[in-house]
Amino acid sequence: MENLYINRELSLLEFHKRVLAQALDPDVPLLERLRFLCITCTNLDEFFEIRVAGLKQRIELGARAQGPEKLLAKDVFDTLHVEVAELVRQQYELLNKVMFPELTKAGVRFVQSQEWNKEQREWLGEYFDEQVVPVLTPLTFDPSRPFPRILNKSLNFIVRLHGRDAFGRQRHRGMVQAPRSLPRIIKLPEYLSKSGEDHFVFLSSIIRVHVDRLFPGLEVDGCYQFRVTRNSDLYIDDEEVSDLVRALEGQLEASRYGAAVRLEIGHQCPEDLQEFLLDHFNLQEFDMYLVEGPVNLNRLSTICSIEGHPDLQYQPFAQGLPEELLGDEDIFTVLSQKNVLLHHPYQSFVPVIDFIATAAKDPDVLAIKQTLYRTGADSPIIDHLVTAARSGKEVTVVIELMARFDEAANIAMANRLQEAGAHVVYGLVGFKTHAKMLLVVRRESGSLVRYVHLGTGNYHHATTNVYTDYGYLSSGKPLGEDVHKLFLQLTSLTQAEGMTRMLASPFSLFDALMDKIRREIENAKAGKNARIIAKINSLNEQQLIDALYEASQAGVKIDLIVRGICSLRPGVKGLSENIHVRSIVGRFLEHSRVYYFLNDGEEEFYCSSADWMERNMFRRNESCFEIRQKAMKDKLRRHLELYLADNCQAWVLNGDGSYERLAPGKHERISAQETFLEDLTTPV
């Protein structure tokens, strides 16, 4: 094989295709299919904002081939363009030929402008005049009034005009920018809908139909929606920055108007207006996507949770609790006797929030330390940390400001905590703090006891309902000491040494993983059973991939459950015959990271915040903790085996980089996510 590695961008696009397949799946409830369709839109947005933007920059700079696969950026971009164009075509074909008709049958109707009856037209006209016009600013432009700046991913309309304005000047084009304060989908009153049905109208349709009211005295000869996607990657020079918050705020503002990388336009837009927009944004024809429908499919996500259509949605469930937390004992009493392993979203995240709430109010708690990467704008965790700080406890929060697309929220969160008296430490520029750790120091019988929570996912109460993750609660002394050392590393920037229960990037995790892979290689060469299982989100670190290739050739059985990017080629003769890679894509986003090593029968299990990517190994602060209790190891083993047996939501990676979806066929139907739902939750 010419290339031993799969390109990162091409592999990521394959993941987006797997998500779209969920929207195409007739066995998925209809509104959930629509949600998956919306997710593919937001995924593509970020893909263009970050990955495609980076490729275009490298092309412009004439950069050499990069990455382990050594492909030129131009070659990758050309391949991506063809693949993305086909994906977009499938999106809109699904929307128009399947989603809209099926939703209409189910009583959820998007009423097209040509279908409006007299009463609807009158109501929408009044809505436009009273609710829309006051916040719109119609524009025309000429050399003295240039084309306005267009905000990243905003909804806009290019308007063809004829005639002279009030000042006697000929006008040919105008523009309307839809403020973000306006809802993109409007629900019609019940009296304007059929009985028992929900009727909706797109804001874009309302503006298009009534746009002539915005340009009185001029003839409107067409109104077409468009959206521009811009380079949104942030760059902070760690050699020059003196005030991270100020530098980041400046970058956030600039990113709203970064270089254009994609132009989406309504498919009926005439060629001359297409060319006008392409020229203005300095884009080429291959950067343009003509779409037959809303230019931002994600606006449809607002109806995915509408009430009154339970048959179109996933069955709700009540999250369970582990047996250890079912009694009346407080969390400190429980953890003083046993450790707790939580499996989200099947088991509730509430115990973690309650742990922080209890610590905030407990007079015996002296200090709380926590890392925060993403938490959400209305996080109860922040409320509890504020309460703790105001009550005089030592609260230290390590906040990663540069959590992509959450930067502004994290700055606001940091300011609030500082105002309450908490010690706020920002992640080190160039080394994101991605670790998920919480440490509570409590005085008990004259001694100080450390309680910890470690996780594979973020402290975000909303995403814990849809992301699969593990959380670990413990008062174990060695583990508490390790977490204490890691917090010292994050705050004082001194290296944590002598840890016995944890591994951490950027200092010890990579070397430890390489040593464990080599140990499996030696065991295989000695004729012993050798096995590696890793459940991660992404894999592209070349040295780890090469080590896995070597392990495969030595006879180590390797199973990789990689949700997204995977640059390793499995099943290649003479290279990776003993490596199997699968991706699980289902109702929940697979986010947990678990590493398993057979170790000649002395099995090792680790949970971690880190994927097997170069950035996670060398440019991030990551945490990895060992699970030693037999019952918990047995549980994790069962979970991994269930993922490897899944034949409903599993996709198998081929050596050429393509994926094939498994199907039960005549075999027993096995779905890991459905099994967890049945075992750990209660239907509502």
Handedness of CA 553, 559, 564, 570 (dihedral sign): positive
Rounded Cα distance, 532 and 515, in Å: 13
Alpha-carbon 139 to chain mean position: 36
225 burial (CB, 10 Å; 0-12 / 13-18 / 19+) is buried
Distance between start and end Cα atoms, the chain: 52
Those residues with Cβ within 8 angstroms of residue 36's Cβ, 6 or more apart along the chain or in another chain: 19, 20, 22, 23, 28
DSSP state of 507: T
Closest to 342 (Cα-Cα) out of 215, 438, 478, 441? 438
Rounded Cα distance, 682 and 313, in Å: 17
Rounded Cα distance, 422 and 393, in Å: 9
Using DSSP, state whether 452 is helix, strand or coil. strand
DSSP state of 425: E
DSSP state of 70: T
Using DSSP, state whether 498 is helix, strand or coil. coil
Closest to 420 (Cα-Cα) out of 449, 400, 391, 441? 391
Q: Please report which residue ranges of 2-52 form alpha helices under DSSP H.
A: 8-24, 30-46
Alpha-carbon 386 to chain mean position: 27
Those residues with Cβ within 8 angstroms of residue 230's Cβ, 6 or more apart along the chain or in another chain: 49, 53, 152, 153, 255, 256, 257, 258, 259, 260, 261
At residue 185, what are phi and psi to the nearest 5 degrees? -130, 130
Which residues are marked as active site? Answer: 434
Handedness of CA 562, 568, 572, 574 (dihedral sign): negative
Q: Taking the CA atoms of the chain, what radius of gyration do you get in angstroms?
A: 27
Handedness of CA 612, 614, 615, 620 (dihedral sign): positive
**Which residues are bridge partners to 450 per DSSP?**
441
For residues 576 and 568, the answer to whether their CB atoms sit within 8 Å is yes
